[in-house]
Structure 1
Amino acid sequence: MRFQFDGNQAYQLRAIEATADILRGQPRGTVDYDTFEMGELLGPVSNRIDITEDVLLTNLQEVQRRFGITVDSKLEMIEEEIKTAGGNKAVRFPNFSVEMETGTGKTYVYIRTALELHRRYGLRKFIVVVHSVAVREGVLKTLKITQEHLRAIYHNVPYRFTSYDSRSIAKVRQFAQSDCVEILVMTIDSFNKDDNVIRQSTDRLQGAIPLYLVQSARPILILDEPQNMESEGRIKALASLHPLMALRYSATHRNPYNLCYRLTPFEAYRGGLVKRIEVDSVRKEDDYNQVFLRLEEVRSNKKVVQAKITVHQRMAEGQIKEKAYLFKPGDCLSEKSDRPEYSSFVIDEIHAREEFVRFANGIEIRVGQTQGADQAELFKQQIRRSIETHFQKQKKLKAAGIKVLSLFFIDRVENYTGTVPPERGTDSVDGLYPGIIRELFDEAFNELKGKYPDFAELEPSAVRKAYFAQKNRRGGAVEVLDSTTGQSKEDRDAYDLIMKEKERLLGFREPVAFIFSHSALREGWDNPNVCQICTLNQTVSEVKKRQEVGRGMRLMVDQKGVRNADPKLNVLTVIANESYEQFVDGLQKEMEEAFGKEGAAPRPTNVRAKKTATRKPLEQLPAEFAELWERIKHKTRYQVTVDTAKLVTDVVAALNKVKIEPPRIISQTADVHVGDSVDKLDYRVGGKRILTRLIGRHSLPNLVEMIEDLIAHITPPVKLTRRTLASIVTGIKERQAALDNPQEFASQAARVIREKAIQQLVDGIQYEKDGNWYDMTEWVETEETVSDRLVPVENSIYDQIVVQSDTERKFAEKLKKRKDVKLFVKLPNWFKVTTPVGNYNPDWALVMEKPDEDDTLLYLVRETKSTTVADELRGTENQKIHCGEKHFVGGLNVDFRVVTNADELP
């Protein structure tokens, strides 16, 4: 295979043109040998720019206007003092940024830009600076495979590229002295420290310092992913090369110095320049039967060490939700979770340096690890889905000559590389053990391959390879060995195949199609035929989603190396361990961080200004208000009765209609798309399937005790005898479903008991005065709020009414215009009626003339809602209103009603 390139991609040509036009007015230089010499070394061939900074700025501004980019008022210069052959020297150089979505040919663009700068202006010396070995290998590969294509475009211009190697300093001399176009690829770590070879005197250059040779060539820097070069030390290192300028290329700039071209992910996605994204969400549903906890992080300072731990917390309505809290040594997790299941989880030790927590019950958990999440089963199902999807896509795409690749990201390398222990899961957290991912992959591959002839005869070891880059930990420890320095031939072969031999990897003769990585391939490396990305993390990945999906966004190529632009075929499936809503929302937030929220109209500057509503003095309040207040100020108490037999009957009948699903792992897909005019991600939900049911793994619990505990802690608490609860449990039809998912059944039972008990309480509630009342002096003299919540009025005790909704605003606007409304007030938050489902705060009290009776006044309380249909109001809200009516009508003999607008008054 040989990759074929299209040199006429309009968006790429615009990016090249934008950068080259910044130097407009610069005369094309001829070969200019500098007079600088180092001993017996010949002088270098140097870049030079003759136009002024003012001209550069004018050119930049013209380019920015052309491409609709905010115009900068000045050049972004980096200024440092550096060491040179002639002593210390102050240097400054401009920076220009190009922002292109991953997968749209960023590396191709900056290589071709270098050649365009030579064609137009005679510039010759370029250094591509990268932050990792993976990125370096990707750049070198692109330089190699584009060479023939670019020579044809630029009339066989002589240009040479090489990778800096401290063991071959002669390459530095060649770079400086050559009169052809030179492109040198360097990692930032190869020259950012004082002890780097490039900064030391060497006999191989007659005692000269190689860095000084580089400086003398006045290179143009091309920074690949410059957001990784923003530290003070790395900026100084870049300046030490004494560059003429820096061109910065990234999809995710942290600091976009003088942006001259931008291709956003929304534009790339909308224009079909990259693959479409499909999220396949693999996650657990309805399983709260285990004691779950996840160690998010360990925090420490001079005084205290704390652990942030996520637990399953019991909520007021009886359901269970994940929630993270900070704990310190000696804390018991049951205090925050409000669940007795956590009573044995008392923190014995929090180790800050090793980042683990040990509990008094002997369980130990490290940052990122979970307990009670069935992580091993989740990994198994994610891997199976990835393999199955891979097989299906390969069957579909083979006719188009496309070989499918799948990429797996894992967060603990030993889960892949380790030796599988004889006793699997022993002394492990959540069923994980060394080598489990490799073992699960091999098992799933062998189980599934029989249906697909292209894979049926292959062994799993032949189709998978792994690349794990070196990772330095605190204290100098190295967590993972780089495959380039691995001890086995297999490591070296994997490195060469993944990083250097893309053509062979994409050929049907090469069986490897599944690649495993830790972090090395999250930036800088990609492959056009990565069609699946599976994130095998022990928690939801905190790595940027744009980095992960970026490894597979490039459009696919066939066996001839020709790009396939068919949108129906170019789909990247992300097998994620979170919901599709979470995934899309996270991706959208990352894009908004980079590009801002598009299309949102700015709010008026004065809309949130605060104003004050002022009350009339108490002695000046009208008599109508005094009479109204006398009628409504009284507090009450309520009486209720519960028919236990009816309650049991009602609860059992309701529970028999509730379907209790067993705990399960499900897969649900969603296609991601971008609106035609709005830069916002959205999704269309596809099919949902159950991958496995998680039943029969735990001892049977006591359902009566579980329900008893739940109803005692819900709001309001309900107390029933165990005999009553037992009659409910024995009365249900689907007992096996309750045993398969006891926590879900107990939660549903507690919810239904609460609903039915409250309904009985509310239906039969009776109110009577308790001898207490609200005092008129509690009405505050002034109430401050934002101006858009105030309605100026005359017929009230305040000069302005504070409203909380559009319905309330319309109601107040009409009341202030009605002559028959003598006075009205918005009842304050402290004016409450006690109910079995919480306090109720009514909306309005008013005095108005009775129709056709001039001398008769009506004293009314009204609740305003957008609807009066009980079924459309929230259950608790509807019950509170019902109790409010019983309080006012039955307890105080005051007219009460729910209305939608002022026209419904008498």
Structure 2
Amino acid sequence: MKIRFKQQPFQLDAVRSIVDCFAGQPYAPSAGPDARNRPVMLPDEDVLRNMQAVQRRNGLPVSERLEGRYNLTVEMETGTGKTYTFIRTMFELYKTYGWSKFIVVVPSVAIREGVLKTFRMTEDHFMSVYGMKARYFVYNSKQLHHIGKFAGDAGLSVMIINAQAFNARGREARRIYMELDDFGSRRPIDVLADTRPILIIDEPQSVEGVKTRESLKAFNPLLTLRYSATHREDYNKVYRLDALDAYNLKLVKKISVKGISLKGIGGSDGYLYLEGIEVSADRAPAARLEFEAKTKAGVVRRTRLVRVGDDLHALSGGLAQYKGYKVSEINGRDGSIRFINGVTLHAGDVQGDTGELHLRRIQIRETIKSHFAKERALFPQGIKVLSLFFIDEVAKYRQYDRDGAERNGVYADIFEEEYAAMLAEELGRLAGDDPYAGYLKRIRVKDTHKGYFSIDRKSNRIIDPKRTAGDADSDDADAYDLIMRDKERLLSLAEPVRFIFSHSALKEGWDNPNVFQICTLKHSDSTIKKRQEVGRGLRLCVNQDGERIDSGVPGIDVHDINVLTVIASESYEQFARQLQREIAEALSGRPGAADRSAFLEHVAENERLRHCAAGEANDDFHRREFLKLWNRINRKTGCTVRFDSGELIRKCVEALDSRLQVPAIRYTVRHGEMRRIASREQLEAGEAFRAREAKDEAADVQPLSGVKMDLIGRLTEETKLTRKTIAAILTGIGEPTFRQFRLNPEEFVLRAARLINEQKAAAVIEAVTYDALNDRFEAGVFTKRELFGQPEDGAHPAAQAPVAGGEVLVYDKLPRGFFIPTPMGRYHPDRAIVFREGDVRHICFIAETKGSLESLELQGAERAKIEWARKVFAKLNTGQVKVDAADSYGKLLAILKPS
């Protein structure tokens, strides 16, 4: 197969944007023994004027000055042919101005090989367009004769070099700066600099550190052109094809996500995952750690930065599994964290994750399922479907016995098991004479998956890639031979490989157009962005004739065929939210749509300033009405409870035996896809994805039993009953009920406590009496945020609703420091509203709920707290007080005006 290249209008626009910046420059080809690029003859003001005209044409911010002589930036989304574009730019600059010397600087071996492959693949295409070929080579410090030819050749000449070759400490990297006998006692860098080359920086955000930026000056470039989808700095940006444009114009694949989330975590296996260590110049190192934590909804996994002295037992909400896990040391040098109990984790380590292998099996299964569905649809059109797995450890895919013979790692075994089962299912739905069925039958399972990794030269075994450059024991280039240099072979239906396992090192530099599924069989890595993960599969696919399936093909919708499905290692919501956030960040320089809410906020701010200028305070805390309210409600109270404990025990036993249902650990798979992106604001709001379907599956996982739990103590803590009462309740329940504790200990505690608290609430609603105390809540209970009336993130709709004109005097969030004591713990009303009806002022306390009021009414504990709050305010003689729950603005109005 030979991939056919088309002349895409957006790529030609990017090329023209560079060329037009030097309009008026005379054509002056290289000639003679000093075949160097001729200097820019235009005055700087003319170049600036040209550049500004290009920026206006392309709808970009207009530069006020030239940033260096000369730096130009092109932004192109991953998968839109960035490498093709800058190669074509070389041809156009050569044709228009005679500039013939180009050096392409890349950040890695993988990207270098990708650039080299594109030069080879486009030779015939550019020959047909320009009637000539470029002469190109990869810099090698041991083959310096290429540099001599580069310097003396008057034709279009290109050198490709990775940054480590001139910016590292090793002897080979230093050779470019040395006077060498085998190079005529010349320094290679001087010969290159004398040609006044045009530097093209591929992925500058990965190339240009402080040191590299200085090193690049040694090349004495005539121009520096930077190409990337994610620039860190924009030097005179002259063209932009960002993620929003590329997606909406259907120049890249549509993105679909399958996310997998864990339900009913046991909370008893000491789970920990160390993502990495964050080091800064002005603060001590911090560890990004994932652990389990207790919430009202159950045990969940959360990630946060922890520092020396942090106690996971406290941070987890008191989970017994984390007793003794207090951070004693964080080492930024070796990327480790140590706890006072002696446990040490290094970046990437996982402890106690009993469900991980099952999660990986589900991911592999879902990937195969998506692969078959896509392949079944595209096989008749001659389109090869590839799936890519990223793993974090080679041994999980390939291992070796004592004799050096290869054998499957755990992921390869799981793949073959799941593939065989899915294949049988697929063949069962196909007719025997279906060509696709025949295609599947011809491929052996062992032949259809392969791993691409670094090769150890001594043992000829695949190994995890080395982090350090220039390691003599590995040859990274060998690892990419098939996928980098034989891309066309992979695209052929005659090649049985359809599933590729690779290390995360392939996060950049390789994007085969026919990757339709990407699965990350590893924990989320904070250093790798979601855009990088999806970037390996965004390029539009090609068929067996090498023809790209894009909008130029009549009778098709590009996004009906070109859909990339990401099988994520996290929940659908989490992946989709993070991906949208990253795309929105990349669009930060793009003009946004007019935002009505921002306009209203501006009007509100102006109104506040007007009041302040008139000597009025706009903050409810300082308003007279709020001060009156605060003085009436800030009295503290104490509560006394007297009830029949025997009756409570009996009802709790009945409730537990009849209603306690502790769920087994389950996985939920949610599937959604990205819609047309209307604006950056839509991405920031997380509204670009639409969920399609969800399914729930039991996990065949047994939690570890190594963590000892004080069950009576935990339930005592959760219910505020005595140990004696809790012991009586546990003694009374049936054996089937108690057996659920072993199924999921933490969930047992949380659900049992909830049922006990409901019975307790029902028993003591009438048994509670309140007494006013002499103490009062002082103004110090307000945080600075609450004191100055700043809105909270994620405010509930009832809180965000407008209020009814001048009748509402106060509508304020109450501080968390204000509470009402109850037998169920502290009760915090969410908001206080004071409204006027004639000459009467009414006070209403609102408990907001994100669930429906119907579900709230089933929760006896919450209902009881509202009843007790009514007793308190009746005791304090605060006048006409209402305490209620609202889940909407309509309900709030009904409470305020019940008529």
TM-score of the superposition, structure 1-length normalised? 0.79
Aligned pairs (5 A) from 1:193-272 = 195=171, 196-272=174-250
Aligned to 1:685: 691
Contact 2:648/2:759 (<8 A) preserved:
no
Aligned to 2:2: 2
Choose which of 293, 297, 306 in structure 1 pairs with 2:272: 293
Q: Secondary structure at the match of 2:17?
A: helix
Instruction: For residue 176 of structure 1, report the CA deviation from its aligned partner.
Output: 1.5
Instruction: For residue 415 of structure 1, report the CA deviation from its aligned partner.
Output: 3.2
More helix by share: 2
Distance 1:395 1:220 in 2: 47
Distance 2:692 2:57 in 1: 41
Distance 2:82 2:668 in 1: 38
Aligned to 1:756: 759
Distance 1:630 1:132 in 2: 69
Instruction: For residue 311 of structure 1, report the CA deviation from its aligned partner.
Output: 2.9
Instruction: For residue 449 of structure 1, report the CA deviation from its aligned partner.
Output: 4.1
Aligned to 2:746: 743
Aligned pairs (5 A) from 1:612-631 = none
Choose which of 840, 843, 851 in structure 1 pairs with 2:832: 843
Aligned to 1:481: 474
Aligned to 1:410: 391
1:518 maps to a residue whose letter is H
Contact 1:166/1:198 (<8 A) preserved:
yes
Q: Secondary structure at the match of 2:400?
A: coil
Choose which of 166, 169, 179 in structure 1 pairs with 2:154: 179
Aligned to 1:398: 379
1:279 maps to a residue whose letter is V
Aligned to 2:365: 384
Distance 1:371 1:464, change over 3 A: same
Contact 2:105/2:160 (<8 A) preserved:
yes
Contact 1:628/1:847 (<8 A) preserved:
no
Distance 1:118 1:737, change over 3 A: same
Instruction: For residue 328 of structure 1, report the CA deviation from its aligned partner.
Output: 4.9
2:758 maps to a residue whose letter is E
Aligned pairs (5 A) from 1:351-362 = 353-356=333-336
Distance 1:369 1:777, change over 3 A: closer
Aligned pairs (5 A) from 1:461-476 = 463-468=449-454, 472-473=466-467
CA deviations on 1:467-518 (whole Å, 9 max, x unpaired) are 34985558x995983343xxxxxxx4x6321110111111122222222222
Q: Secondary structure at the match of 1:555?
A: coil
Choose which of 525, 539, 547 in structure 2 pairs with 1:562: 547
Aligned to 2:725: 721
Distance 1:174 1:558 in 2: 39
1:767 and 2:770 aligned: yes
Aligned pairs (5 A) from 1:132-151 = 132-151=108-127
CA deviations on 1:79-117 (whole Å, 9 max, x unpaired) are xxxxxxxxxxxxxx3111110110011111111111111
Aligned to 1:503: 488
CA deviations on 1:530-555 (whole Å, 9 max, x unpaired) are 11111121445541111121111001
Instruction: For residue 274 of structure 1, report the CA deviation from its aligned partner.
Output: 0.8
1:152 and 2:128 aligned: yes
Instruction: For residue 10 of structure 1, report the CA deviation from its aligned partner.
Output: 2.0
Distance 2:225 2:420 in 1: 49
Name which of structure 1's ranges 338-347 and 406-415 shifts more when overlaid on structure 2: 338-347
Contact 1:707/1:749 (<8 A) preserved:
no
Distance 1:589 1:715, change over 3 A: farther
Instruction: For residue 384 of structure 1, report the CA deviation from its aligned partner.
Output: 3.0
Distance 1:828 1:774, change over 3 A: farther
Aligned to 2:432: none
Contact 1:318/1:713 (<8 A) preserved:
no
Contact 2:275/2:525 (<8 A) preserved:
no
Aligned to 2:76: 100
Aligned pairs (5 A) from 1:665-814 = 665-677=667-679, 680=683, 682-690=688-696, 693-696=699-702, 698=704, 708-714=712-718, 721-726=725-730, 729-730=733-734, 739-769=742-772, 772=774, 774=776, 786=788, 810=804, 813-814=806-807
Aligned to 2:535: 550
Aligned to 2:433: none
1:567 maps to a residue whose letter is H
Aligned to 1:371: 351
Q: Secondary structure at the match of 1:843?
A: strand
Contact 2:259/2:573 (<8 A) preserved:
no
Distance 1:153 1:756, change over 3 A: farther
1:55 and 2:65 aligned: no
Contact 2:126/2:133 (<8 A) preserved:
no
Instruction: For residue 723 of structure 1, report the CA deviation from its aligned partner.
Output: 4.7
Contact 1:227/1:252 (<8 A) preserved:
yes
Instruction: For residue 363 of structure 1, report the CA deviation from its aligned partner.
Output: 5.9
Q: Secondary structure at the match of 2:367?
A: helix
Distance 1:27 1:573 in 2: 50
Choose which of 412, 415, 423 in structure 2 pairs with 1:441: 415
Distance 2:768 2:51 in 1: 76
How many residues align? The count is 820
Larger radius of gyration: 1
CA deviations on 1:590-611 (whole Å, 9 max, x unpaired) are 1222222833446536577695
Name which of structure 1's ranges 465-474 and 518-527 shifts more when overlaid on structure 2: 465-474
1:726 maps to a residue whose letter is L
Q: Secondary structure at the match of 2:161?
A: strand
Aligned to 2:430: none
CA deviations on 1:58-99 (whole Å, 9 max, x unpaired) are 11111111111111111111xxxxxxxxxxxxxxx3111110
Q: Secondary structure at the match of 2:3?
A: coil
Instruction: For residue 654 of structure 1, report the CA deviation from its aligned partner.
Output: 7.5
Contact 1:807/1:900 (<8 A) preserved:
no
Distance 2:40 2:304 in 1: 57
Aligned pairs (5 A) from 1:5-24 = 5-7=5-7, 9-24=8-23
Instruction: For residue 773 of structure 1, report the CA deviation from its aligned partner.
Output: 6.2
CA deviations on 1:629-648 (whole Å, 9 max, x unpaired) are 79996856444536653665
Distance 1:149 1:316, change over 3 A: closer
Distance 1:631 1:284 in 2: 44
Instruction: For residue 256 of structure 1, report the CA deviation from its aligned partner.
Output: 1.4
Aligned to 2:577: 585
Aligned to 1:127: 103
Distance 1:864 1:691 in 2: 39
Distance 1:30 1:840 in 2: 79
1:146 maps to a residue whose letter is T
Contact 1:533/1:549 (<8 A) preserved:
yes
Q: Secondary structure at the match of 1:127?
A: strand
Contact 1:535/1:577 (<8 A) preserved:
yes
Contact 2:524/2:570 (<8 A) preserved:
no
Name which of structure 1's ranges 231-240 and 835-844 shifts more when overlaid on structure 2: 835-844
Distance 1:472 1:407 in 2: 21
Distance 1:109 1:285, change over 3 A: same
Distance 1:255 1:295 in 2: 31
2:689 maps to a residue whose letter is Y
Instruction: For residue 30 of structure 1, report the CA deviation from its aligned partner.
Output: 3.5
Distance 1:380 1:738 in 2: 27
Contact 1:636/1:887 (<8 A) preserved:
no
Name which of structure 1's ranges 742-751 and 139-148 shifts more when overlaid on structure 2: 742-751
Q: Secondary structure at the match of 2:505?
A: coil
1:516 and 2:494 aligned: no
User: How well do the aligned residues superpose, as a CA RMSD in angstroms?
Assistant: 4.4
1:533 maps to a residue whose letter is I
1:834 maps to a residue whose letter is P
Contact 2:321/2:707 (<8 A) preserved:
no
Choose which of 522, 543, 551 in structure 2 pairs with 1:537: 522
Contact 2:308/2:328 (<8 A) preserved:
no
CA deviations on 1:385-422 (whole Å, 9 max, x unpaired) are 32333233223321111111121212233433443799
Distance 2:261 2:843 in 1: 50
